[in-house]
Structure 1
Amino acid sequence: MELNSIKPAAGAKHAKRRVGRGIGSGLGKTAGRGHKGQKSRSGGYHKVGFEGGQMPLQRRLPKRGFKSHLLKFNAEISLTALNNLGLAEVDVLALKQAGLVSELAKVVKVIKSGEISTAVKLSGVVATAGAKAAIEAAGGSLA
C-alpha cells in the first residue's frame, strides 16, 4: 500500500445532491419539491403537533392527574426493614443515618409489609393501623 493509493471504503463517500441546477441533472425546475404548497416554499413548514389549524390532539384531550411537590418530604419504611435495623429505639434521625429514608424526609410512616419479631420503640414516626398492631404484638410501642 502506498499513500497515493489509499481510498475510502466502497460506499463510504457519495456525491452531494445538487438540486435546481438545470433539466439535465434530473433535479431542475422544482428541485424535487413537487408543485406548489407549503412544503415547496423556502422556510415553509409547521411545528410539531400542528394539524393544519384543527385543534391539536394534546389540546383536545383533558388534563388529568396531579403530583404533589410535597411528596418528597414523605417516606415509608416496612416492618421487615425495621426488624433488620436492629435498634431498640427508632426515630427519624436514626432512619436517615441508616440510609433507609432520604435526607429530605420529614414524615416517616411504617407500613405493614413483612413481619417484625423484635421489640422496637418508635418516636416521631407514624404507623398504619396494621403496622401498629404488629409492633405492639412484638412488644414494641409508638410514642
Structure 2
Amino acid sequence: MSETIPQEFWQGVEQFNTGQFYACHDTLEALWIEAGEPEKTFYQGILQISVALYHLENLNWRGAVILLGEGSNRLQRYPSSYNGVDVDELLSQSAALLTTLQQIGPDKITAGDLGKNQVLSLPRIVLVSY
C-alpha cells in the first residue's frame, strides 16, 4: 500500500458514492494510467465497477454484468481493507448486485428500477479507518 493516497482517489470515492459513475471513471482512470502496482489494479477494479453501474443506469445489462464481474475479479486479490476501502464490503455488494442482475435478466431492467427498487441495491464504497 502506498504511503499517501492521492486526493483524486477520495474524489473518485465521493463520485462513486453519490452516483456520479462516469465522473468516477474519469477520475480513477487518470490515476490508473499513472499508477504502478498494486494500486494500478486496485484503481482499475473500482473504476470497472463504476462503469458497470453507469452501464446499468443506461439499461445496458450486458455491459453492467461483464464489468461487475471483471472489476470484482481484480479486487479479489486485495486484503479485506486496502487504501482505506472496505474491499470485502464492496465485493459483497457487487456480487449481490451481479447475482440479482443475472437472475432477473436483461429484459426486466427499467430506468425506474435504479435507486428506487430495493432489488437493485447499488454498491457503495465503505471506508475503514486505520
TM-score range, shorter chain: under 0.3
Give the number of the structure with larger relative contact order, counting CA–CA contacts within 8 Å between residues 6 or more apart: 2
Rg (Cα) greater in structure: 1
- Return the structure number with greater strand share: 1
